[in-house]
Amino acid sequence: MMVYTSKYPPFFVTVDGVVLTVRDDALCALVVTRGGEPYKGTLALPGGFVDIDEDLPVAAVRELSEETGLSVRGQHVEQLATYGAPDRDPRHRTISVAYLVVLPDLAEPVGGDDATDAHWHRVTWLLARKDRLAFDHRHILRDGVERARAKLEYTALGTSFCGSLFTIAELRRVYEVVWGVELDPGNFHRKVTGVPGFVEPSGEKASRGTGRRATLYRRGPLAALNPPLTRTAMK
Amino acid sequence: MMVYTSKYPPFFVTVDGVVLTVRDDALCALVVTRGGEPYKGTLALPGGFVDIDEDLPVAAVRELSEETGLSVRGQHVEQLATYGAPDRDPRHRTISVAYLVVLPDLAEPVGGDDATDAHWHRVTWLLARKDRLAFDHRHILRDGVERARAKLEYTALGTSFCGSLFTIAELRRVYEVVWGVELDPGNFHRKVTGVPGFVEPSGEKASRGTGRRATLYRRGPLAALNPPLTRTAMK
DNA sequence: CCAAAAGTGTTTGATTTACACCCATGG
DNA sequence: CCATGGGTGTAAATCAAACACTTTTGG
């Protein structure tokens, strides 16, 4: 094994992922069960050590794939924040760069080689008690959820929770679940279809159970919303 | 000198500060002239290496004080983002955690021990050419300015550019300079005084040159603005 | 008195909200 | 046919923008 020497004290750099989706009318995060010490057997955000020549977002995507079998190609990935309290890891001085990933509720994680298993859990459940997540991952998850909630308002992040084709009602459910409010279907429809570049009609129609068929839309090119969507419940 | 060995490759962790203020009707950032290699003699954001037992924001504040003689006690300091491209520092693999600091135009930096000198420069000038700043500091500065511009809209960050007592007109100048727009004095006044908790009247009056004396306000307890200030020029 | 800045009033138009109502579909 | 969700119409309330106008100060 290679041994490195340095006149400076060693830092360890990791990446962690706050991977969010909307499942069963609840905001859910992806977690793995830790297979090694410390916190063995405890739930944790997927993540791991950054390679010495590896860019940070590349490491985040790689760890996600290795630990959960999930590919995030073409999905929303953004840097969240960096966590570096001196005592956040009992072993070493570790700096963790957290990434926020937003996925549609499609891919079922399979559990990769590093972790014993990967699961979706409701964020309300994960955050309800202080000891459900290892390290400072509760703090990281809270920040990720807060970021997602805020960005729904003034960006098109909501569409990242939907598949490539979605109905306006599906998009509305995303907002309702993430914000925990009820929105007026008619007003929401007018609002999102009225912002140029937010969503684009695909021409196709959905057949989702009973009722009139809804138009299927795809994500528009717009990233930032101006004016922002109102956060006061339109209901 | 102590020598550390590790089976993992060494990462170096630094902090850098995007320190903004409004001076002479322009948005300005604090920069130092590098005294050592690499990029010796080039302008750079103030920053330096994190100590092995030091928390990240503590390191940011310490480096700022050492390099510029500036105390940021009680001022706005927030984490901006982390920059970790493998080739961003020609010497080592270095991860830099950037902080955004917003100050009123009061303290004159003096130049500390690490850097040869510290100056305020207009961000337009610093960003106008690719080679005015060392490393990826142009990128970091651009992100910091963008963050500040965005946060003016939906938080009370604007008041952090002002001293402890300020007039509504001074606050308005901050918005005008940072956004590069002209705002209607009357509408702006009504808006900011109308949001509960944004600014609080101090009871005192300013005597700023000619014209009627303006009421002096101080920062209110409000952090997030809902609804956001409109960004379309009220003029 | 005059210029200039502070602050208020007022009008107009846009946006938000609430909710009625018709459309289309599956069962 | 009827329950259900999709989508549009519409009126009231609220908010934003433009700008007139009064107040207060320095020179």
What's the alpha-carbon Rg for chain A, to the nearest Å?
20
Domain boundary among A114, A129, A144: A129
Predicted confidence at residue A180, as pLDDT, reads 95
CATH of the domain at B108: 3.90.79.10
The whole-number pLDDT of residue A228 equals 84
- Counting Cα atoms < 13 Å in the Cβ hemisphere of A112 gives 16
A208 and A171 in a single domain? The answer is yes
A86 pLDDT higher than 60: yes
Contact A5 B5 (CB under 8 A): yes
**Region A218-223: what's the mean pLDDT?**
93
Residue A22 has pLDDT above 90, yes or no: yes
Residues B112 and B58 in one domain: yes
Among B95, B102, B84, B229, CA closest to B159: B102
B12-31 per-position pLDDT tens digit:
999 999 999 999 999 999 99
Tell me the pLDDT band of A24, cut-offs 50, 70 and 90.
very high
> Measuring CA to CA, which residue among A179, A23, A167, A44 is closest to residue A103?
A23
Average pLDDT, chain B: 92
Main-chain dihedrals φ then ψ at residue A65, nearest 5 degrees: -65, -45
Contact A42/A34 with Cβ under 8 angstroms? Answer: yes
Q: Do B81 and A79 touch (CB under 8 A)?
A: yes
Q: Which of A196-200, B20-24, B117-121, B231-235 has the lowest mean pLDDT?
A: B231-235
Lowest mean pLDDT among A77-86, A127-136, A209-218, B177-186: A209-218
Whether pLDDT at B103 is above 90: yes
Protein residue at shortest CA distance from C1' of D18: B235
Say yes or no for a CB contact (<8 Å) between A82 and B86. Answer: no
3-state secondary structure at position B117: coil
Distance of alpha carbon B2 from alpha carbon B95, whole angstroms: 22
- Interface A:B, Cβ pairs < 8 A: 106
Nearest by CB to residue B5, choosing from A4, A12, A82, is: A4
Q: Would you state the pLDDT for residue A111?
A: 60
Give the pLDDT mean for A106-125: 77
Amino acid A1: pLDDT? 55
Task: Give the residue among A228, A76, A55 at the shortest CA–CA distance from A162.
Answer: A76
d(CA A150, CA A158): 11
Question: What is the predicted pLDDT for the residue at B94?
Answer: 97
Q: Stated in angstroms, how far is A232 CA from D22 C1'?
A: 37
Other C-beta atoms within 10 Å of B73: how many? 7
Quick one: B88 and B41 in the same domain? yes
Q: Domain range holding A195? A: 153-219
Long-range contacts of B61-64 (CB under 8 A, 24+ apart): B63/B15, B63/B17, B63/B114, B64/B17, B64/B19, B64/B101
When CB atoms are compared, the residue of B6, B12, B81 closest to A4 is: B6
Above 90 in pLDDT, residue B6? no
Question: Is residue B78, in this structure, part of any structural domain at all?
Answer: yes
- Please report whether residue A199 resides in a domain: yes
Which pLDDT value is given to residue B107? 66
DSSP state letter for B192: H
Look at residue B114 and tell me whether its pLDDT is greater than 90: no
Q: What is the pLDDT of residue B155?
A: 95
The protein residues having a beta carbon less than 7 Å from any atom of strand C are A 184, 186-187, 190-191, 205, 207, 209-213, 227, 230, 232-235; B 167-169, 185-187, 189-190, 193, 208-215
In the structure encoding, which two tokens stand for residue B67, read together?
């390099």
Q: Are residues A177 and A112 in the same domain?
A: no
Regarding whether A117 and A17 lie in a shared domain, the answer is: yes
Residue A224 located in a structural domain: no
Enter the tokens of residue A96: 């963790």
Give distance CA B235 / C1' D21 (Å): 17
pLDDT at res. A73: 92
Name the pLDDT band for A133 (thresholds 50, 70, 90): very high
pLDDT class of A114 with cuts at 50, 70, 90: low
Q: How confident is the model at residue A106 (pLDDT cuts 50, 70, 90)?
A: confident
Contact, A228 CB vs strand D, < 7 Å: no
Q: Count Cβ atoms below 10 Å from residue A125 Cβ, excluding itself.
A: 12
B98/B205 same-domain check? no
Does the CB of A91 have a partner CB in chain B at under 8 Å?
Answer: no
Question: Do A123 and A177 belong together in one domain?
Answer: no
A144-153 pLDDT, tens digit per residue, is 999 999 999 9
Instruction: Let me know if A157 is exposed, middle or buried by CB neighbors in 10 A (0-12, 13-18, 19+).
Output: buried
Q: Is a pLDDT exceeding 60 seen at residue A31?
A: yes
The answer to whether residues A1 and B7 touch, using CB atoms and an 8 Å cutoff, is yes
What's the pLDDT at B123?
98
pLDDT at B223: 86
Q: Is B135 part of any domain?
A: no
Number of domains in chain B: 2
pLDDT at B225: 87
CATH number at residue A193: 1.10.10.10
Residue A64 inside a domain? The answer is yes
Q: Residue A135 has which token pair?
A: 């390290």
* A63 — pLDDT class (breaks 50, 70, 90): very high
Is the pLDDT confidence value at B115 over 60?
A: no
* Separation of alpha carbons B193 and B107, rounded Å: 28
Residue B231 lies in a domain: no
- Give tens-digit pLDDT for B205-219: 887 778 899 999 999
At A234, the pLDDT band (50, 70, 90 cuts) reads: confident
**Could you give the CA distance from residue B224 to residue B235 in angstroms, rounded to a whole number?**
24
Residue A72 CA to residue A31 CA, distance in Å, equals 15
**pLDDT confidence of residue A58:** 98
Interface of A with B in 97-136 (CB under 8 A): 97
Give the distance, in angstroms, between the CA of residue B124 and the centroid of all CA atoms in the same chain: 14
Q: Are residues A121 and A199 in the same domain?
A: no
Is the same domain home to A72 and A111? yes
- Let me know whether B17 and B116 are in one domain: yes
Is there a single domain that holds both residue B115 and residue B16? yes
Q: Check residue B34 and give its pLDDT.
A: 93
> Is the CB of A214 less than 7 A from some atom of nucleic acid strand D?
yes
Q: What pLDDT does A232 receive?
A: 82
Residues on chain A touching B8 (C-beta within 8 angstroms): 4, 10, 12, 49
- Look at residue B129 in the predicted model and tell me its pLDDT: 98
- Indicate whether A228 belongs to any domain: no
Of B2, B84, B231, the CB nearest to A97: B84
Q: Alpha carbon B93 to chain centroid distance?
A: 26
Q: Band of the pLDDT at B37, cuts 50, 70, 90?
A: confident
Q: How confident is the model at residue A227 (pLDDT cuts 50, 70, 90)?
A: confident
Alpha-carbon distance of A28 to B127, in angstroms, equals 41
Q: Can you give the distance from the CA of residue B101 to the C1' of nucleotide D24 in angstroms?
A: 37
Asked if the structure places residue A232 within a domain, the reply is no
Q: Residues 182-201 of A near strand D (Cβ < 7 Å)?
A: 185-187, 189-190, 193
Residues of A in contact with B226 (CB under 8 A): 231
